[in-house]
Amino acid sequence: MSKVKLRIENIVASVDLFTSLDLEKVIEICPNSKYNPEEFPGIICRFDEPKVALLVFSSGKLVVTGAKSVEDIEGAVSKLVGMLSKIGAKFQRAPQIDIQNMVFSGDIGMEFNLDAVALALPNCEYEPEQFPGVIYRVKDPRAVILLFSSGKIVCSGAKSEHDAWEAVKKLLHELEKYGLTESWEF
């Protein structure tokens, strides 16, 4: 496992602010924002620091995307709450942040014959005419790993970094079990 590297590429979170929002007032205080209710029922707001995008809805619910850490999401929510407080928003309780998806990129550190991988591994798909990687589905923790012949991987659907590592470990165990790689130290 020491050869394997994972890096967070994106985190998506849903947030409940426990308040209703007047989006006409909110748009006035959000820099780098767009609001066209005929096209989309929320405000698309971009922060430079932390670098994220927020979808802000009148229900007080948000979607935060583009974050590279949970701290970025917490910082963006805190920043928005501070801005909303200045225009009179009242919150019933602290915001609730739920991580919906984390996307990681990584490298296993070796090359693979994807035809052999696809024939050996259960829970995978490989159609090279459609997509140049094996799509490997992990049931627990729930995640999808894209494996490329170069050994590069993309892990999506994990709810935490721990879950991503567990999913990658399961892939590596399967690769080893079917003789597709050398043994791994866990």
Q: Residue 186 pLDDT > 60, yes or no?
A: no
Q: What is the pLDDT of residues 17-41, one digit of tens each?
A: 999 999 999 999 998 999 999 999 9
- Our CA dihedral for 101, 185, 134, 13, rounded to 10 degrees, sits at 0
Q: Are residues 56 and 22 in the same domain?
A: yes
Query: Is 186 contained in some domain?
Result: no
Range of the domain at 113: 108-178
Q: What is the pLDDT of residues 53-86, one digit of tens each?
A: 999 999 999 999 999 999 999 999 999 999 999 9
Provide the residue type at 49 as one letter.
Answer: E
| Residue 131, domain CATH | 3.30.310.10
Q: Residue 48 pLDDT > 80, yes or no?
A: yes
Question: Which of 80, 99, 118 is the last residue in one of the domains?
Answer: 99
Q: Hey, which residues does 63 pair with through a beta bridge? A: 14, 55
Return the number of other C-beta atoms located less than 10 Å from residue 112's C-beta: 19
**Buried b / exposed e along 23-60 (16+ C-beta atoms within 10 A):** beebeeebeebebeeeeeebbbbebeebebbbbbbeeb
Give the SS3 label for residue 54.
Answer: strand
Q: Are residues 25 and 81 in the same domain?
A: yes
